[in-house]
Amino acid sequence: MVNSDAGGVKYLMLIPDGMADQPLPDLHGKTPLEAARTPHMDRLACRGHVGWAQTVPDGMPAGSDVACLSLFGYDPQVYHTGRASIEAASHAIPLGEEDVVFRCNFVTVQNNRLSDYSAGHITTDEAQALIATLNQRFGSEECTFYPGVSYRNLLVARGHARDQIRCTPPHDIANQTITTHWPEGPEASWAQLLIRQSVEVLREHPVNVQRRKNRLPEATMIWLWGQGTRLNLPPFRTRFGVEGSVITAVDLVRGLGLLAGLKIVHVPGATGYFDTNYQGKAEYAVAALELHPFVVIHIEATDEAGHLGDYRKKVEAIEAVDRLVLGTLLKGLEERGWTYRLLIAPDHPTFVATRTHVSDPVPYLLVSSTDQGLSSVTAFHERAVREATDTVVPGHTLMEQLVHEKIPTT
């Protein structure tokens, strides 16, 4: 259904990546979201609607590619072709029908164990230098490396159907023996050989020599995963009747926005890490709403804390989202007197205890500025939502609720 007339309403979706979690002994049986001070989320929950969404369909990998595709309103079971192809769109990398794109992480391996899935969050400049060297050694018309942001880079294998190789995300095997997680399946030997060859190339690279001197984790090898083929999405404007923008520091979400025909808003200081410009993202979102009625704000720091297994960092990141992002958003909306509808939902849970994504349903909060009634919920966290309802909806239906449907009463 196309909503040709937005009627002046502003539509916002806030995605605190990986925010959902499980109760932790270190937090006295609370989840990080429950332990965090989130007065703005709690206030909205008191007059909005909460529920559970299955953003990762059964049998699909619990990654942000699948989960964010759901939140953008596209059924992953229909559209998903792989993670890396979405990120390729962020860099305008042309893909042929038979091309396969791999995420190419720089990782740190010590004593045959993966000690850091991000090579100490290597800088983008350092990663670009390493990628240039890899292209010099291994690049060809059939195999090309592309720089991304920090440890997140890409490899395109052109003209070869290598999408059947089975790869493991590096953030799922922290501190595990890498040789038990080598790529498997058809043509896996090609991927294994390239990973092994990268070790020799990277060992004495000036970037790693300097990181060694500075006692920083080195990029000891590449790790291939998240492969996919070219993705085509119907325009967001056609599906939901509104035009909009995406604010993120992550190539994956930026690529989704571009594939859906949404505008990308670049925010100074947005890093995708704990030092990101939280408030700036909200300020730029309000400015974007002056031009188009819809905006997505994606925050990566909550997910990074989960992968680090750091519950303190996760609580701090959640509090920053509430105070600096949501607080700034609400102030801007109210100052302008806009009618708005707001959806807050993590894409997937990232468990601090296991440092990885899971496919469990996520709690969501949907609220309209015109609905001032009180709900039965007094806070927004996993326990409160569970006490309110156990109904789970498909994640890709949330966008339809946000843009078109009346918000139900919890």
In degrees and rounded to multiples of 5, residue 357 shows phi and psi of: -75, 155
- The verdict on 373 and 240 lying in the same domain is yes
- Taking residues 282-287, report their average pLDDT: 98
- The verdict on 223 and 97 lying in the same domain is yes
Measuring CA to CA, how many Å separate 403 from each of 10, 233, 240, 242, 287? Answer: 9, 19, 7, 8, 20
Q: What distance in Å separates the CA atoms of residue 261 and residue 282, rounded to the nearest whole number? A: 21
- Per-residue pLDDT reduced to its tens digit, 50-73: 999 999 999 999 999 999 999 999
Mean pLDDT of the chain: 94
| Nearest residue to 10 via CA among 341, 332, 264 | 341
- The verdict on 244 and 392 lying in the same domain is yes
Q: Which domain holds residue 305?
A: 10-79+233-403
Amino acid of residue 381 = H
Domain count, the chain: 2
Characterize the bridge pairing of strands 294-299 and 10-16: parallel
| Nearest residue to 128 via CA among 156, 103, 153 | 153
pTM value? 0.88
339: domain CATH number? 3.40.720.10
- Enter the tokens of residue 44: 């909205």
- The verdict on 186 and 239 lying in the same domain is no
- The verdict on 220 and 267 lying in the same domain is no
- Per-residue pLDDT reduced to its tens digit, 221-267: 999 999 999 999 999 999 999 999 999 999 999 999 999 999 999 99
- The verdict on 241 and 390 lying in the same domain is yes
Q: SS3 breakdown of the chain: % helix, strand, coil, rounded to 5?
A: 40, 20, 40
The answer to whether 217 and 120 have CB atoms below 8 angstroms apart is yes
> Length of the chain, please?
410
Q: Final residue of a domain: which of 180, 199, 228?
A: 228
Q: What distance in Å separates the CA atoms of residue 44 and residue 369, rounded to the nearest whole number? A: 9
Q: What distance in Å separates the CA atoms of residue 325 and residue 40, rounded to the nearest whole number? A: 10
- The verdict on 279 and 169 lying in the same domain is no
- Per-residue pLDDT reduced to its tens digit, 176-188: 999 999 999 888 9
In degrees and rounded to multiples of 5, residue 168 shows phi and psi of: -110, 130
- pLDDT confidence bin for 410, thresholds 50/70/90: low
Q: Final residue of a domain: which of 183, 213, 228?
A: 228
Tell me whether residue 273 is in a domain: yes
Tell me whether residue 4 is in a domain: no
pLDDT at position 142: 87
- Enter the tokens of residue 160: 């070869």
- Taking residues 379-398, report their average pLDDT: 97
pLDDT at 404 over 90: no
pLDDT at 407 over 70: no
